[in-house]
A and B are shown apart, each in its own frame.
Chain A
Amino acid sequence: MKVLRSICLALVLAGPVSAQGYRVRLDTRVHSVDFRGVQIDSVLRSATVPDSIGGLYTPDGYAVHCEPGDTYCTFFREGPRHESAPLVATADASAWGFGVRGLSVHATARLGYDLSSDDAWPGMEPAFQLINGYVEYAVERLTARAGRQILASRLGTTGFDGGAVTWRLPKQRIDLTGYAGWGLARGAAIPVTSPALNPLDDFQPLERQIVAGLEGAWTARLGEARFVYQREVDPHFDKFVSERIAISGAARPMPGLTVAGGADYDIAAGWWGSADLSVMYATRNVSGTIEARRYRPHFDLWTIWGAFSPVPYKSLRASVTGRPWRPVQLHARGEVYRFDPAEASTPLVEYETDGWRGELGATVDAGHGWTVDGGVTREFGPGAASTGSGGSVTYSPTRAARVTAYASWLDRPLEFRFSESVLKMAGFDGGIDVNERVRLTAGAMRYSEDRNRPDAAAFDWTQWRITAGVVVLFTRGADLENLPPAIRRMPGGRNAR
């Protein structure tokens, strides 16, 4: 409420000040979708029925799990069918021209509401989320921002309510950025103390963390280098939530060739996090990438997960895209990976420690607005695997209209649970620009899922999923309609700033 009151007050006080230009983009989408999971149930051990090899079942055919000595056995039957109609409206707004050159205001907010009576769609709380909302002052050597903002760096995305300043030294080709504020939860636009982040009633911090960071970048024609240092502190206990540093760089020794790499180090945990090194070469008709990488998850120190010593995996992956003849484009990619030794003795449970992924596909530009696309994917590794194929046909008679029909098939066995599902999906989606400022989208999909289990939990689940959306654009003060997306999103183009 305090924030809401502040915004209202700011709006009232800002009344006499009018912007020369603004841009508001409203994107509203609604889905009609069912979902159905499982729910745990139990049965008296004495009521179970053995099969021919000694496995125990409920009288109605569900395989049960019985712990030695327990009176009851547990099993999972199909859960209730939830019907949801989530509506999500996102507004992106920018305004500029307040009489101070370089001053602008930006905000992105989202409203979510489940139109169905079930109110079961996850992730809809809180209903209103301010993703970012800040005032920016930008001149040639300086950019300063104050408010809610999300920064992206090699350490991931960092959201906070606070300030950020970027100082540019053009001669030295150096940019320096410093930022600080009250942090948001990782991967969310709400504070870590929000009840919406605690659906399982887990531990939760008592106060928002303080975030501070410093980024530096040097760029030149043949390459660039950058570093970022970031720390998060829990003010309640005056302890670190995280402290990390990352470095990255890229070299472009010759046209078309890029060598890039980087790594992050967890200062608090004392270990290296994720790292990668890639070589990419691209010509007009062929491009390829070879990349070696290492991935290790990062956990905040207010959780105990980091003390469980998550182990990294190392992978080698490659991709190539080629155009053997003009209308046809082929692409392929693959990756193999292996986890470091977990050093956990598991005499009773075998598990996979390495895996691979692969994909082959082709896109054909058949002319006259027709595009045909198809491919196969396959992956196998710890926890799960999948094999699938799919294809689509797109017809786009003009730049303003598009319709796509698609179909795909997927088989996805799991490593630790008998729940191999076979999915079949077919549908269409499309969009049309009613005019330069309004775009409508719609789609429908037939979703069919067969859960292949040797018991009664092998239920079939088939449904229609419907999607519709509308995007409306309001602008004033800029002839932006003919600009591509990169510049259209800027407030009034470069000149107006």
Chain B
Amino acid sequence: MIALLVVIGLLQAPSSFDHPKHAKLFPSCTSCHRGAASDGARASMWPDAASCASCHDGTIEKQVTWSPRAGPRRGNLRFDHVEHAREAKTKAPACTACHTDAGAPRMAVRPPVVARCLDCHEIRTAHLAAPDTACATCHLPLARAVSLTRADVAGFPAPPSHADPRWPSREGHGAVARSTLSTNCATCHAQEFCYQCHAGGSPPKSIAVLASDIRSTALATHRAPASHGANFADRHGALASASTQSCASCHVRSDCLDCHRTAAASGPRYHGDGFLARHPAAAYARETSCGDCHNERSFCASCHQQSGIVAARGLRTGYHDARPFFVSGHGGAARQSLESCVSCHTQDDCLKCHSSIGGRRFNPHGPGFDAERLRKKNGQMCVVCHGSSIPTSP
């Protein structure tokens, strides 16, 4: 990732000192800004207020109130005037090489002109489109830019690469981060930023390369992956069940349980508004697997019981009155929607007819029934209908 910042320019308030007006008075920049030419520890970058007062004494010139800035400069530039001059390959650049626009008069100064930095360092792109290797040339990692506030970090501009819809994916930022995490990504980001999304089971170990800095969470990461279009909650099932690991990159279990959890009085909802009214159609043919979240007995049957739609007084009550002979011919419908049947009927209702002991001996076994296998796994189930004399075939 590339992130070359213009923080210094944004953060420094415009100077109230009118440099062009004083152009003839000060032939040299370093006569006031001595720290730019000598070791900054001993010489101040700013003139003292008394030197202004030598002219602005109220007699020669009107009095002014000015005092040098206290404390370090707020910014993340990796820059020291003296060192920069010393390490320059040919000769030290003049102050105007950075502090004026190209072609501007000497004293038309301004905070560092990023374009001129890039130009001198032979970076032939826009600032934020600079190559991955370039950020650390001028900028400190976020964790070392201690003067920046959380609000400063929130104002970091995003490079164009981050706008790519594939950027949130492994192929996007993942591929880039593998090689540049500790250098360029670190200019704007720290561990906490990554963990905003990599909150699941196994975050990339490379994140540990970054320093820890809670200010990094000032940058928002809420953009969902491209796969998450509208109504993703409705259609995420297949993908989520097949690739839970992918989901776990950004989500934790509680995210799922917010919806995938039974709630007697609907809490956070999985189903849309009015689903209770619509649920018969969805439930008969199991639009989704109801049983994953709802227990048919406690959730469905208890509500149906309160609503009076359980088989409390026998099977010939005529509840299914759209089919007068429903009891006689319910087999097909029952095999299709057995989960719906059991939300109103007990096993005892069925055993009234489908039992070889005491019932009418109607054989309920249908396609796919493997009597021998089931008997081996749980013969107790067979005993319910067959008693102790379990047949060897249905």
A393 at the interface (CB under 8 A from B): no
Question: How close is B153's CB to chain A, nearest CB, in angstroms?
Answer: 11
- With an 8 A cutoff between CB atoms, is B10 at the interface? no
Contacts of A92 in B (CB 8 A): 254
State the Cβ distance, B112 to closest chain A Cβ, in Å. 30
A483 to B217, CA, bound (A): 7
Asked if A182 is at the interface of the complex by the 8 Å CB criterion, the answer is: no
**B201-252: which residues lie under 8 A (CB-CB) from chain A?**
201-203, 205, 212, 214, 217-218, 221-222, 225-227, 229-231, 234-235, 238-239, 241-246, 250-252
Q: Interface range on chain A: under 10, 10 to 19, 20 to 34, or 35 or more?
A: 35 or more
Q: Does A82 contact B (CB under 8 A)?
A: yes
The distance in angstroms between the C-alpha atoms of A271 and B370, with both chains bound, is 9
Instruction: Judge if A21 is at the interface, Cβ distance under 8 Å.
Output: no
Residue of B nearest to A79 (CB): B308
0/1 string, B288-300, CB within 8 A of A gives 1: 0111111111110
Q: Does any Cβ of A come within 8 Å of B49's Cβ?
A: no
Contacts A280-B239, A349-B323 hold; do A64 and B318 have CB atoms under 8 A apart? Answer: yes
* Bound Cα distance from A87 to B203, whole angstroms: 38
Task: Select which of B251, B277, B290 is within 8 A of A423 by beta carbon.
Answer: B277
Which stretch (A1-9, A97-105, A119-127, A432-440) binds chain B? A119-127
Name A412's contact: one of B268, B278, B325, B369 (CB within 8 Å).
B278
Closest to A320 in B: B229
Q: Is A400's beta carbon under 8 Å from chain B?
A: no
Task: Judge whether B50 is part of the interface by a CB distance below 8 angstroms.
Answer: no
**Do A295 and B377 touch across chains, with their CB atoms under 8 A apart?**
no
Interface presence of A18 (CB below 8 A): no
User: Which chain B residue lies CB-closest to A379?
Assistant: B281
Tell me if B195 and A388 are in contact (CB < 8 A). Answer: no
Contacts of A282 in B (CB 8 A): 225-227, 229
Distance to closest chain A CB from B262 (angstroms): 6
> Is A274 interfacial (CB 8 A cutoff)?
yes
Taken together as a complex, chains A and B put the C-alpha atoms of A287 and B228 apart, in Å, by 8
Chain A: CB-nearest residue to B339: A297
Contact flags (1/0) for A480-497 with B, using CB distance below 8 Å? 001111110110011100
Q: List the A side residues contacting B226 at CB < 8 Å.
A: 256, 282-284, 287
Contact flag A348-B329 (CB < 8 Å), given A38-B308, A122-B306, A269-B374: yes
Bound-state Cα–Cα, A201 to B165, Å: 55
Q: Is the CB of B378 within 8 A of A124?
A: no
Any B CB within 8 A of the CB of A20: no
Residue B90 interfacial (CB < 8 Å): no
Q: How far is the CA of A64 from the CA of B324 in the complex (A)?
A: 11
Cβ of B229 and Cβ of A321 under 8 Å apart? yes
A186's contact among B274, B291, B319, B382, by CB below 8 Å, is which? B291
Asked if A474 lies at the interface with its beta carbon under 8 angstroms from chain B, I say no
Q: Which residue of B lies closest to A414 (CB)?
A: B280
Q: How far is the CB of A79 from chain B (nearest CB, A)?
A: 5
B263 nearest CB neighbor, chain A only: A88
Determine the residue in chain A with the shortest Cβ distance to B370.
Answer: A270
Cβ of A308 and Cβ of B295 under 8 Å apart? no
Shortest CB-to-CB span from B168 to chain A, Å, is 11
Q: Are A203 and B243 in contact, CB atoms less than 8 angstroms apart?
A: no
Judge whether A157 and B332 touch: CB under 8 Å.
no
> Using a CB-CB cutoff of 8 Å, which residues 265-309 of chain B contact chain A?
265-268, 273-274, 277-278, 280-287, 289-299, 301-303, 305-309
Instruction: Give A161 to B170 CA distance when docked, in angstroms.
Output: 37
With A298-B291, A353-B336, A417-B320 given, is the CB distance from A381 to B342 under 8 Å? Answer: no
Rounded to whole Å, the gap between the CB of A346 and the closest CB of chain B is 4
Residues in A with CB closer than 8 Å to B274 are 388, 390, 408, 410, 423, 425
Which residues of chain B (325-354) have a CB below 8 Å from chain A? 325-326, 328-340, 342, 345-348, 350-351, 354
Who on chain B is nearest to A262 by CB? B242
A486 with B250: in contact, given A416-B320, A417-B322 (CB under 8 Å)? yes
A79 to B282, CA, bound (A): 25
Choose one: A308, A331, A494; the contact of B338 (CB below 8 Å): A308
User: Which residues of A, 67-91, contact B by the 8 Å Cβ criterion?
Assistant: 67, 70, 74-76, 79, 82, 86-88, 90
Asked whether B387 is an interface residue with its Cβ less than 8 Å from the other chain, the reply is: no
Q: Are A112 and B252 in contact (CB under 8 A)?
A: no
Question: Is A402 on the interface with B (CB-CB < 8 A)?
Answer: no
Shortest C-beta distance, A83 to chain B (Å), equals 12
Q: Which of A202, A308, A412 contacts B281 (CB 8 A)?
A: A412
- B366 within 8 Å of A (CB atoms): yes
Cβ B227 vs Cβ A150 within 8 A: no
Select which of A196, A258, A268, A357 is within 8 A of B239 by beta carbon.
Answer: A258
Q: By the criterion CB–CB under 8 Å, are A123 and B262 in contact? A: yes
Does B128 make an interface contact (CB < 8 A)? no
B364 contacts the other chain (Cβ, under 8 Å)? yes
Residues in B neighbouring A449, C-beta threshold 8 A: 277
Considering the complex, give the chain A residue whose CB is closest to the CB of B371: A307
- In the complex, whether A185 has a CB less than 8 A from a CB of chain B is yes
The answer to the question of B86 belonging to the interface, with a C-beta cut-off of 8 Å to chain A, is: no
* Interface check A384, CB cutoff 8 A: yes
Q: Which residue of the partner chain B has the closest CB to A486?
A: B199
Contact of B378 among A65, A156, A239, A286 (CB under 8 A): A239
Check if B119 is an interface residue, CB within 8 A of chain A: no
By the criterion CB–CB under 8 Å, are B351 and A304 in contact?
yes
A280-324 Cβ-contact flags toward B at 8 Å (1 or 0): 101110110101010101110111111111110100000101000
A35 near B306 (CB under 8 angstroms)?
Answer: yes
* Residue B384, interface by CB 8 Å: yes
Q: Which of A336-364 contact B (CB under 8 A)?
A: 337, 339-351, 353, 355, 357, 361, 363
B199, B340, B369: the one contacting A383 at CB < 8 Å is B340
> A342-B332, A347-B329, A487-B199 are known contacts; what are 15 more A-B pairs with Cβ within 8 Å?
A38-B308, A40-B312, A75-B318, A123-B299, A186-B291, A226-B245, A270-B373, A282-B227, A303-B342, A304-B347, A319-B234, A321-B231, A383-B280, A383-B283, A417-B322
18 contacts between A and B (CB under 8 A): A30-B265, A74-B318, A82-B306, A88-B265, A170-B205, A187-B296, A190-B298, A203-B348, A237-B378, A258-B243, A278-B239, A311-B367, A313-B285, A342-B335, A351-B332, A384-B280, A416-B323, A486-B197
Q: Which 4 A-B pairs have the closest CB atoms?
A: A65-B318, A37-B307, A383-B284, A344-B331
Write the residues of chain B forming the contact surface with A, with a CB cutoff of 8 angstroms.
Answer: 165-166, 169-171, 191-192, 195-203, 205, 212, 214, 217-218, 221-222, 225-227, 229-231, 234-235, 238-239, 241-246, 250-257, 260-268, 273-274, 277-278, 280-287, 289-299, 301-303, 305-310, 312-313, 316-326, 328-340, 342, 345-348, 350-351, 354, 364-370, 373-374, 377-382, 384-385
